[in-house]
């Protein structure tokens, strides 16, 4: 099997109220037409094989899985679909090299669908100095969160406010592990 895409669910925590368990999530995507799936971690990140299909097919699989997930557990969140090539390109090299410092809590990769291009000049820092948005390309915004657990900057609201789209964020470490898992499959 060759994973070519990733589905990034917004506000999904496997096994929690309003979210599916792993088997139900994978089953919904298989029922939606995926050739193979592998749920990665518990945050609603799923590797997807759509055979010879491209981005349109991967998006159709996620859309077809949505009513199944709603029936199984009541999940009605958003699924953002990306090719693994696009995800890899977003974090290629060391995109955080110039922004990493001793206050860095997390380096983030925020995926966004819909809306407009980011409406602020980069780098941008929030008023509390807990979040920097440092780079953007279509559908992806890179950020640096500070402040530690529960107190750090959250890129989702900022990206959604500046684009009018829907966003979901993963840490750089999660994205790197996801890409490594896809390469091993």
pLDDT digits (tens, 9 = 90+) for 134-183: 999 999 999 999 887 777 788 999 999 999 999 999 999 999 999 999 99
Q: How confident is the model at residue 1 (pLDDT cuts 50, 70, 90)?
A: confident
Confidence at residue 145, expressed as pLDDT on a 0 to 100 scale: 93
Confidence at residue 102, expressed as pLDDT on a 0 to 100 scale: 87
SS (H, E, C) the chain: CCCCEEEEECCCCCCCCCCCCHHHHHHHHHHCCCCEEEEECCCCEEEEECCCCCHHHHHHHHHHHHHHHHHHHCCCCCEEEEEHHHHHHHCCCCCCCCCCCCCEEEEEEEEEECCCCCCCCCCEECCCCCEEEEEEECCEEEEEEECCCCCCCCHHHHHHHHHCCEEEEEEHHHHHHHHHHHHHC
Confidence at residue 167, expressed as pLDDT on a 0 to 100 scale: 97
Average pLDDT over residues 43-71: 96
Confidence at residue 181, expressed as pLDDT on a 0 to 100 scale: 96
Average predicted confidence (pLDDT) for the chain:
94
Confidence at residue 99, expressed as pLDDT on a 0 to 100 scale: 83
Higher pLDDT residue, 71 or 146?
71
- State if pTM tops 0.85: yes
Asked if pLDDT for residue 112 goes beyond 80, the answer is yes
Confidence at residue 95, expressed as pLDDT on a 0 to 100 scale: 87
Asked if pLDDT for residue 113 goes beyond 90, the answer is yes
Asked if pLDDT for residue 90 goes beyond 90, the answer is yes
């Amino acid at each position: 099997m060759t994973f070519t895409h990733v589905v990034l669910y917004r506000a999904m925590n496997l096994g929690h109220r309003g979210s599916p368990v792993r088997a139900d999530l994978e089953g919904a995507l298989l029922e939606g037409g995926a050739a193979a799936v592998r749920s990665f971690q518990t945050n609603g990140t799923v590797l997807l094989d759509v055979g010879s299909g491209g981005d349109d097919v991967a998006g159709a699989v996620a859309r077809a899985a949505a009513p199944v997930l709603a029936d199984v557990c009541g999940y009605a969140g958003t699924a953002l679909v990306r090719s693994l090539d696009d995800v890899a390109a977003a974090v290629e090299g060391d995109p955080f090299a110039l922004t990493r410092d001793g206050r860095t809590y997390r380096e983030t990769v925020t995926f966004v669908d819909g809306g407009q291009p980011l409406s602020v000049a980069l780098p941008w820092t929030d008023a509390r100095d807990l979040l920097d948005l440092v780079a953007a390309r279509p559908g992806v915004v890179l950020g640096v969160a500070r402040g530690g657990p529960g107190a750090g900057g959250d890129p989702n609201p900022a990206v959604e406010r500046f684009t009018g789209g829907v966003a979901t964020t993963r840490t750089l470490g999660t994205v790197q592990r996801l890409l490594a898992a896809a390469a091993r499959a």
